Amino acid sequence: MRPAAPHRLLLSSLCLALCCLGGARGSRRSDNHEWKKLIMVHHWPVTVCKEVENDCRDPPDYWTIHGLWPDKAEECNGSWHFHLEEIKDLMPEMKMYWPDVIHPLNHSHFWKHEWEKHGTCAAQLDALNSQKKYFGGSLDLYRDLDLNSMLQKLGIKPSINYYQVSDIKDALAGIYGVIPKIQCLPPQQGEEVQTIGQIELCFTKELRLRNCTEPGEPGGPGGPAPRRPRTGVSGDTGLEVCEDGPAFYPPPPGAVP
C-alpha cells in the first residue's frame, strides 16, 4: 500500500496548483471592478437629440442626468437585474430629472442600462448598495449640485453666440472648487465649432467633490482626449472631451437665444 503515497502527493500538488490558478483568476476579475471616483454626468438634451440624429419632441430645456458612473468599472454583477418596482417611489423625480430624452415614452430601458452597467459597480458603496439607494442617491447629488441654477447665475445660457470652453470650466471650478470635465460633439460637416453635450462633476468614494481630471489622465492636462462610443442608448454617444476654444451651447428648438 505504500506506493500509493506518491500518488496522493501528486494529487494534492495538482489540487493546490488549480486552487492557486483559480484564485489568481478571481483576483483579476476583482481588479476589473475596482474604481476610485464617481462621475456625475449631466447631459444637454438638445445635443443628445442632435448626436443621434433624432427629431426629439420638446426635449427638456434644462440639464438632465445621464448617469452616476464609477470610473474604470462596468457591469459588475450580471445577475443583479433591474426591477422598476424598486424605485416606484422615485418615479416623479426620475421622469423629470433622469428622463430618456430619445425615448420619452419608455424611460425604463434607459434606467435599466444605467443600473446594470454602472449601478451594479457603484453598489460597492453602502450608500448606493441597492437600486433605490443608487437612483435616489444620484437624484440627491443632482439636486445638491444644482448645475442648471449655477450656470444661470454665471450668465452661461444657451445662445447662438459661442462660449470659450476654458471660460465655462474656470467658472464652474470657481463655484464648486474642483475641476469639471466638459464633453462636446465635434463639429460636423458644415459646422464651425464643437457643440457642448455633457458636463461631469466627480466625487470620491466618500461622496465628496474632487477633480475630474488630473495631469496625464484622459481629458486632463497632458492626457489624451477619449471618445465615447455610440451605443444607441439615450445619451451614450460619440462625445469627446471639449477642445480649448469656442463651443456652441445650442438653445432648445423654438427658444429665443
Which residue type, as a one-letter code, is found at position 136?
Answer: G
| 167 part of a folded domain | yes
Mean pLDDT of all residues in 225-254:
72
66 given a catalytic annotation: yes
Instruction: Extract the runs of DSSP E, i.e. beta strands, from the chain.
Output: 38-43, 64-70, 159-164, 181-185, 194-203, 209-210, 240-241, 246-249
Among the listed residues 42, 66, 107, 113, the single catalytic one is 66
Q: Is residue 204 part of a domain?
A: yes
160: in domain: yes
Of 51, 114, 116, 200, the catalytic one is 114
CA 211 to each of CA 2, 76, 191, 202: distance values in angstroms, whole numbers, following the listed order? 67, 24, 31, 6
The predicted structure's pLDDT at residue 72: 82
Does residue 218 sit within a domain?
A: no
Residue 155 has pLDDT above 70, yes or no: yes
- Asked, for residue 158, whether it belongs to a domain, the answer is yes
Does residue 68 carry a pLDDT above 70? Answer: yes
Q: Which residues of 66-97 are buried (b: 16+ CB within 10 A; e: fewer)?
A: bbbbbbebeebeeeeebeeeebeebeebbeeb
Residues 47, 102: contact at Cβ < 8 Å?
A: no
Annotation says 214 is catalytic: no
Instruction: Give this prediction's pTM.
Output: 0.80
pLDDT of the residue at 157: 97
Can you give the pLDDT at residue 73? Answer: 82
Most confident residue range from 163-172, 210-219, 234-243: 163-172
Task: Residue 203: give its domain's CATH number.
Answer: 3.90.730.10
Q: Is residue 183 classed as helix, strand or coil in its secondary structure?
A: strand
Domain that holds residue 87: 38-213+237-248
Q: How confident is the model at residue 214 (pLDDT cuts 50, 70, 90)?
A: confident
Please report which confidence band the pLDDT of residue 226 belongs to, taking 50, 70 and 90 as the band edges.
very low
pLDDT at res. 237: 52
- Tell me, yes or no, whether 28 lies in a domain: no
- The region of weakest confidence among 60-64, 131-135, 174-178, 222-226 is 222-226
Q: Spot the catalytic one: 43, 113, 118, 200.
A: 118
241 falls within a domain: yes
Burial class (CB in 10 A: 0-12, 13-18, 19+), 20: exposed
42 is catalytic: no
In which residue are the cell numbers 443608487 written? 134
Whole-number percent of the chain with pLDDT over 90 = 66
Instruction: Report pLDDT digits (tens) over 109-139.
Output: 999 999 999 999 999 999 999 999 999 999 9
Residue 257 lies in a domain: no
Q: CA-CA distance, 37 to 69, in Å (whole number)?
A: 8
When divided into structural domains, the chain yields a total of: 1
pLDDT tens for 183-206 read 999 998 889 999 999 999 999 999
Confidence of residue 25 (pLDDT cuts 50, 70, 90): very low
Residue 113 grid cell? 442600462
pLDDT value for 34 = 86
